[in-house]
Chains A and B, each alone.
Chain A
Amino acid sequence: MSLLERKLARDVGRRRWQFVAIVVTVLLGVALFGASYDAYQNLLASYQAVFDRTHFATLTVQGGNPDRVAAALADDPGVAAVQPRSVADLPLRIGDAALVAQVVGLPADRRASVNDVLVLSGDYLRADDPNGVLVERHVADHFGLSAGDSLELRLPSGWTRLTVRGIAASAEYIWPARSRQEVLTLPDQFGVLFAPQAMLNALPPAATIPQVAVRYRGPADDPSVTARLVNAALAAGATSTFTQAEQPSNAALQEDINGFGELSLLFPLLFLGAAALAAYVLLSRLVGQQRAQIGLLLAVGYDPRRLFLHYLGFGVAIGLLGASIGAALGLALAGVITTIYTGVIAIPITIVQIRPTSVLLGLAFGVVAGAAGALAPALRAARLSPAAAMAGPTIAGHGGESLLERVVTPLRRLPARWKLVLRGIGRAPLRSVSTAVGVVLAVTLVFVSWAMLDTVQLLLERQFDEAQRADATLSLAGAATPAALAEINAVSGVAGAEPVAQLPVTIEHAGQRYATALIAFPLPTSMHAFLMASGSSELPATGILVGTALESQLDLAAGDEVTLAFTGLDRDSRVRVAGFVDEPLGTYAYGSLPQLAQLIGSEAAGAATSGVNVRIAPGAERDAVLARLRDLDGVAVVTDLHALQHVAQSLMGLFYAFVGAMLVLGAVMAFAMLFNVMSANIGERLTELASLRASGMSGRQLSLLITAENVMLTVAGIVPGLLVGYVAAAAFMASFSSDLFSFDLRVRPTTFLFSAVGVLLAALVSQLPIFAAVRRIDIAQVVRERAG
């Protein structure tokens, strides 16, 4: 070990707690990067493995005659395989429970060439078992189903007994989304069955959605192949298409794990930025303190480049140490997060890999953060003039009123001790700015996390308390006739019942298509409030309302005419868009029942109106009312519209844990930053402080003044931190927004307050070691060292 290296080691030893604080900050940054980035990569790899094993469709075509559409696409050179099939949503009974089943047709005599399933237990379908089905794992797990169990499906012939042949997983239902409009489902209200295609062929055409699943030879995101196939499919009679990226389950999962991707950059950047600032503060102080030593070394012939590397090495050592531990921790955390996530989502294949590139990237980030912090002080050391450096210490700080005193002149009348506080901030301007920036980073970390929680909570309230006014939706076996409505209204505890129709539809405008559902209510309706950006609106008598996401997606404006292609009816109609609704979940089209009748004819509209929205009387026992409704003869399924809200609310616990963790991390960041700055400040002003102690100022008074300075610096960082946090949170949430979810940032006023108070508390805690340092000031030793 060279003498300079030994000196480096001893310098580190003398400032071990400041060193540790920065190492921990780097460690957290690199660990967060490793954990989130590797978890993101692991999840992508896990999904891809499922996609590959099941030949997940690259493109899905809906509408038209599936055999004709399949034939039109099969010969395209970009197509590896096509699979025609049908999908239908039908009432399902499992024991006493009634739910909606999405029944997906599969060839019973062979495996599907596209969108196959993974049979997790039991056997695949058989041609000689027309009533044997596969149950998708989410609903199977919820009801404890296994091969050999039976269930009942409502077919045109009535309730039909089916046998479970096996439990299956599918790339299409890793996240069991019913559609892009209903991404969030509950296993006791929605499940997926894979049935022989022959069973779906026997259903009336209006009850099914014909589909052709297509798999490309090349990459899934080849736009030229997609454009060619979409044109060919539409020419062959199809009404809509969606790509693999747009497939409901995949789109929802991608939105979710993209969050990991963004977090893997945003949060580590905050920590590494804070670590770089803290390293800068520590190294600047060290170089300032060692001016005479540096001057001596330069005077006796040390190469300035060597001194530059010496001080740069301090930053690199901090970065390397923190990054090494952080990378190892990140690897372990990535494995844990992946396993927990794939377990919660029920991904059938979990891939946890160690990626040398992410370890190396983590190490590089840490080293770069440490080196970036050390760069300016190291350059300063190398450029020192030996004569000036050895001439003695420079005065720490300079005279002059603080900016605050110049602006707020009454402050000039403050007692001298408070002027000491105000002007202390200006003594080392770069250090103070570094501290404030560190606080900005900490506040941003806390605020963004808290704002995410607020946004989700407030959007759930907007969806379930403001937009949705019904408590349950009933799916009837037939049409919602006045007699059926009267029977439902007569049920004890029912405060109101209205018919409702829901039809799959593709909206077309300016050459763009969007597949969704048209929901038609009576005019007026009391079961839904149509929330617009400017407030609430009534359902229009003519025209339809559509989700605001379609403004950009279909290049729409209010008043435009669009084409509605009713997928199951093989019918197109033109209608005016009356306005845009701004709802958090899904992108629907809303219209009135008379408007629907006008679009598809009274007979078809009457047949499609097979749902009933129900409101439960205040004070009525909710579960008992729902049970009474289930017992009605004509009711196939009762969907509790608040169950999803309750589940979502219960999941808030996870969000609270997340925000709590971020609060702790933000506090650690603020602590590390402020501790380092105050340690440097005290070290620099030791003789002044000792002199004040000798003059009769108590340790408590000194601590109070130092705390006041610290609090002012923290407050100076908190205000811009809240602004930066708001902008970052808005950008972060906007990146999640799509036609599936509308995540407009909504922040409660208390979140600003609590974020500020949280970081301020961390700042106050960072004072504790400083108080101890003030108490420990050895006045005599300081005076003696200075004198000597």
Chain B
Amino acid sequence: MGGPLVVLDRLSKRYGEGAVTVDAVREVSLAIGSGEFVVVLGPSGSGKTTLLNIIGGIEQPTSGDVNVDGTDLAGLDGGELTAYRRGTLGFVFQFFNLVPTLTARENVQLVAELDGPDAEQRSVEALRSVGLEDRLDHFPGALSGGQQQRVAIARALVNRPPLLLCDEPTGSLDLAMGRQVLALLRQATGDGRTVLTVTHNAAIAAMADRVVRMGSGRLVEDRAVTEPIPADQVSW
């Protein structure tokens, strides 16, 4: 474990104006170190996805500070936020969001091309790392849900970002496929990368290094997991 990669200081997010407002995130302070596998747990509407989006630079906080890898997000304009996402983050969504007209390799390459040369080679390596070396030229429609999510993980990892943000990464998968995906996420922390996963599935917390629980926008629990279980033992 290294020093803190993500630092949140009294972070709040309010939606709406006047009488109709919703406080999605309230005064959340949190520091997440490099190489940590953190699971943010909470029921629907607890503010966990909003928290993830703010760290990802796709939503702006109403108040408070966000610092990721030494970068204060508050001072960044649109272009700088794009560069921040390109250089610092990988995103994995519940619904994979692959481009159906591109093969697995091309979907990964599409993002790899944003980060310089050897895009194709790096894409193949990324797909190999998620066990899809025999599915490189398959289109998403010909892949299972688990395989599609593995392509999405390869896409998120291809530019070697220090932080991987995952929003319900197993939400659309059955247990077997979910375990494969979780194993890959755990594997991604091996070279010092931080993985932050938000989910309502408490079972996943058992394999995390650290569990942050949210309720009504507040951070209600922040605990380390002393003995994380392997992904293949997670069950729901």
Contact = CB atoms under 8 A, between A and B. Distances in A.
Interface string B95-128: 1011111110011011101110001000000000
Closest 4 CB pairs of A and B: A399-B139, A696-B86, A691-B97, A423-B101
B162 interface: no
Interface string A29-69: 00000000000000000000000000000000000000000
Given A691-B97, A787-B94, A399 B142 contact: yes
Interface of A: 395-400, 415-417, 419-420, 423-424, 426-427, 687-688, 690-699, 701, 779-780, 783-784, 786-787
B101 A416 contact: no
Interface in B154-175: 155-156, 159, 167-168, 171
- B103, B156, B171, most chain A CB atoms within 10 A: B103
B89 A696 contact: yes
Contact of A398 (B50, B141, B168): B141
B82 interface: yes
A420 B102 CA distance: 7
Contacts of B89: 694, 696
Interface string B22-56: 00000000000000000000000000011001001
A697 B115 CA distance: 10
B83 interface: yes
14 contacts: A395-B141, A396-B100, A397-B100, A398-B101, A399-B103, A399-B140, A399-B141, A400-B101, A692-B111, A693-B58, A695-B90, A783-B49, A786-B97, A787-B93
A695 B83 CA distance: 10
A399 B101 contact: yes
A395 to B, nearest CB: 5
Contacts of A424: 101
B78 interface: yes
Given A419-B106, A696-B111, A697-B82, A787 B139 contact: no
B85 interface: yes
B78 A695 contact: no
Given A395-B141, A427-B100, A416 B113 contact: yes
Given A400-B101, A420-B106, A688-B97, 19 more contacts: A399-B102, A399-B138, A399-B140, A399-B142, A416-B106, A416-B110, A417-B113, A420-B102, A420-B110, A688-B98, A693-B82, A694-B58, A695-B86, A695-B111, A695-B114, A696-B111, A787-B94, A787-B168, A787-B171
Contact of B53 (A415, A420, A699, A783): A783
Contact of A787 (B78, B85, B95, B115): B95
A696 B113 contact: no
B59 interface: yes
B79 interface: yes
Interface in B64-102: 78-79, 82-83, 85-87, 89-91, 93-95, 97-102
A701 B82 CA distance: 11
Contacts of A779: 53, 58
A415 B101 CA distance: 14
B139 A696 contact: no
A415 B140 CA distance: 18
Contacts of A783: 49, 53, 58, 93, 167
A787 B167 contact: yes
A782 to B, nearest CB: 9
B186 to A, nearest CB: 22
B95 A780 contact: no
Interface string B217-230: 00000000000000
A578 B48 CA distance: 95
A258 B98 CA distance: 57
Nearest to B110: A416
A397 B171 CA distance: 23
Contacts of B85: 694-696
A690 B93 CA distance: 11
A211 B106 CA distance: 84
A698 B115 CA distance: 12
Contacts of B93: 691, 783, 786-787
Nearest to B106: A416
A419 B82 CA distance: 22
Contacts of A396: 100
B101 A397 contact: yes
- B87, B98, B115, B168, most chain A CB atoms within 10 A: B98
Given A415-B113, A779-B58, A787-B168, A698 B100 contact: no
Nearest to B114: A696
Contact of A784 (B49, B100, B102): B49
Nearest to B171: A787
B109 A416 contact: yes
Contacts of A692: 110-111
Contacts of A687: 95, 97
Nearest to A422: B101
A647 B219 CA distance: 85
A490 B168 CA distance: 102
Contact of B91 (A420, A427, A691, A784): A691
Contacts of A696: 82-83, 85-87, 89, 111, 114-115, 159
B75 to A, nearest CB: 18
Interface in B129-160: 138-142, 155-156, 159
A701 B155 CA distance: 18
Contact of B107 (A398, A416, A787): A416
B58 A420 contact: no
Contacts of A698: 79, 82
A780 B107 contact: no
B82 A420 contact: no
B93 to A, nearest CB: 6
B31 to A, nearest CB: 23
B106 A427 contact: no
Contact of A395 (B79, B103, B114, B140): B140
A399 B53 contact: no
A398 B100 contact: yes
Contacts of B140: 395, 399
Nearest to B84: A696
B78 A699 contact: yes
A415 B94 CA distance: 27
Contacts of A395: 100, 140-141
B114 to A, nearest CB: 5
A419 B119 CA distance: 14
Contacts of A697: 82, 86, 111, 114
A701 B115 CA distance: 13
